[in-house]
Amino acid sequence: MVVTKLKPANKKLKTFKAIQEPKLKMKEKISYGFGDLGNGMMFDMGQIYLLKFLTDVLGISSVYAGLVFLVSKIFDAFVDVGVGSYIDNQKNYSKKGKFRPFIIYGSLPLAIMTVVTFLTPNFSETGKIIWAFAAYMAFNAAYSVVNIPYGSLSASMTLNADDRTQLSVFRNMGSQGALFLAGVSVIPIVSLFPNEAVGYPIAVAVLAIFGMVFHVICYKGVKERHVVERPDVKGLGKKAFLSLFKNVPFIVLVIYTLLTITAQFLKLNVQLFYFDYVLGQEGLVGVVSTLNVIVVIPAVILTTYISKRVGKKMTAIIGTAGFSICELLNFTLFGGEVIPFLIVNTLGSMFLVIPTTVSWAFIADVVEYGQWQNGLRSEGIIYSSYSFTRKLSQALAGFLPGLALAMVGFKSNVEQTASTIVGMKFVFFGFPLIITILGLFIFLIFYPLTDKRHNQIVKELALREEL
């Protein structure tokens, strides 16, 4: 049985009103988006630049660099679950909230570890490999302490489906804004210094400072409204975790995420290599980042329009299908020429914004489904377990490029052979296409939680006085 503040019968109408009518003000939605902008100012450094930094600046092999991602992300996936369990099992948390304090107090350690991952100590080759593993594992642990509470926060802010979609929209805008700033600013800042070993830590530090500021804005601008404190009963945490295996929407969402996010981050990790060694323009990352940001606004407008008409599930399917078509076009026709590639890639990025935007609303819906199913509201466990999947995706996306590049004959800082270029093209386009299509069909066929069904579940929870 969940311990929560029970609502007397005469307050049920207010609960229904909270479900049916949007409640959040624009200021709060924007503040929530700033949280992921802050996250991305630190997280994106590793996703975009670290693999190339480890091989070309720190000087370790691409295989070991890939292993750094694989091992660190798997380690972090377990850290996520630990953080989520701790959040759910908090007792007598402060007036600042159940989730918000982690964002403000965890920001500085995260910023410090972001910079540490881009330092180049004068160690032996073995020492550098150990350093890379240790630094990135510590960074990921620090990131979990901020990101898991942030992701869990949205389910406590509102029960309304439209509001949740809008929170996802602003979160994705923050994420895309961080990708843009990271993409256009890091290389120019690095180039101001005599060598990359000096330039990278300074560039990363600048962005990390801004990230801390954005975390403060998020902390001050959002409010927790629907928070449940568990009773001090032994075994509830284990019960909440085991119940995930009976939560069908969660399981399908996890599989879909594992496949599609692996594809997305694989492309992100290998893009610098493709731009530099295949298209011959490493600075193209800034152009791509700019174009990707330009399409965010029309993409989120399109997401809102489609979602209101066909629901979040079909919205995600439409966006994923559009991205897959663009990947196919670049793989077969346009990927080798800069201008055609940019056009199709930008269109694909616009489609990709759509499922990325609504994915965070899905996980908030799954929280209520689990509560309806087993009587336990477990934002931390559910979000951290979902994040576990995303971290596994990121681990694969970090490891596979290093392994794949080695398999196709890639060698750092030299001109690549024709066969290697063909292999890099498959790594950048072909493999992400295959696993994205697989994820699309699994989600289309098996995901059962439509917006209509979720509204019914929330109403039942309100009648049971559990909200």
The Cα 244–Cα 39 span in angstroms is 27
What pLDDT is stored for residue 105 in this prediction? Answer: 93
Alpha helices in 330-429 (DSSP H): 338-374, 379-407, 418-425
Let me know if residue 416 belongs to a domain. yes
Let me know if residue 16 belongs to a domain. no
Let me know if residue 4 belongs to a domain. no
CATH code for the domain of 447: 1.20.1250.20
Distances (CA, A) of 405 to 111, 136, 241, 266, 413: 30, 21, 38, 12, 13
Q: Residue 447 in 3-state DSSP?
A: coil
What pLDDT is stored for residue 406 in this prediction? Answer: 81
Let me know if residue 5 belongs to a domain. no
CA-closest candidate to residue 260, choices 430, 36, 438, 403: 438
CA-closest candidate to residue 206, choices 220, 224, 192: 192
Count of domains for the chain = 1
Let me know if residue 2 belongs to a domain. no
Helix (H) / strand (E) containing 33: helix 26-45
Q: What is the pTM of this model?
A: 0.70
Q: Which domain holds residue 434?
A: 22-227+234-463
What pLDDT is stored for residue 5 in this prediction? Answer: 44
Q: What is the DSSP letter of 90?
A: -
The Cα 179–Cα 37 span in angstroms is 9
Let me know if residue 7 belongs to a domain. no
Q: What is the DSSP letter of 279?
A: S
pLDDT along the chain (467 residues), means of 10: 42 54 83 94 85 88 84 84 81 78 94 94 92 94 92 83 82 85 88 91 94 96 78 64 85 90 82 86 82 86 88 93 96 91 94 85 85 81 81 74 80 82 89 93 93 85 72
Q: How many CB atoms are closer than 10 A to CB 267?
A: 22
Tell me if 313 sits within 8 A of 319, measured CB to CB. Answer: no
The Cα 148–Cα 143 span in angstroms is 8
Helix (H) / strand (E) containing 133: helix 125-157
| Amino acid occupying residue 18 | A
The Cα 438–Cα 316 span in angstroms is 14
**What does the buried/exposed string (b/e) look like for 219-243 if buried means 16 or more CB atoms within 10 Å of the residue's CB?**
bebbebebbbbbeeeeebbeebbeb
Let me know if residue 267 belongs to a domain. yes
Let me know if residue 306 belongs to a domain. yes
